[in-house]
Amino acid sequence: MAEASHAQQLLQRLERLKKQNVEIVKEEDGDLDRVAMTLDDAEVLRNPTADPYVSGTIVLLHGEAAIVTDGGREPVPGDSYEIPLQAGAEISEEQDTIRVQTDRALYSIRPTGSGSL
């Protein structure tokens, strides 16, 4: 499946989560990063670079967001979160969790209920 198709598939699944609080967990090289976000919108951006280290397609999530750490929460700059998609990305859904497996990381996005961040 091409990057553009992956991006559209992910946007369709994210549509159901708009205006909800979600948790985004990124697992990469044994590290876990957590972000809490009120998902307002999502869009696809295309990066015209030829650099293989940089993804050509990015799904950008918009909304008030905070990085969750053991010490508390820190605001996410620009209130946005990027999920880079490569041609080999796999998108799946298990119960209420959307999973995006890329060459580098596994992203899990799930609703956390209502309330403020």
Domain boundaries, the chain: 3-113
Structure token pair of residue 33: 């990063």
- pLDDT value of residue 113: 73
Which segments of 16-99 does DSSP mark as H helices, in order?
A: none
Predicted confidence band of residue 115 (pLDDT cuts 50, 70, 90): low
Among candidates 91, 64, 82, which has minimal Cα distance to 26? Answer: 82
Cα angle at 64 between 89 and 100, to 5 degrees?
Answer: 10
Instruction: Specify the pLDDT at position 53.
Output: 59
Query: Is the CATH number of domain 3-113 1.10.1060?
Result: no
- Average pLDDT for the chain: 87
In DSSP terms, 98 is beta-bridged to: 93, 109
Global pTM value: 0.86
What are the tens digits of pLDDT across the range 15-66?
A: 999 999 999 999 999 999 999 999 999 998 887 665 655 667 889 999 999 9
Contacts of 14 (CB under 8 A, 6+ apart): 39, 42, 59, 61, 98, 109
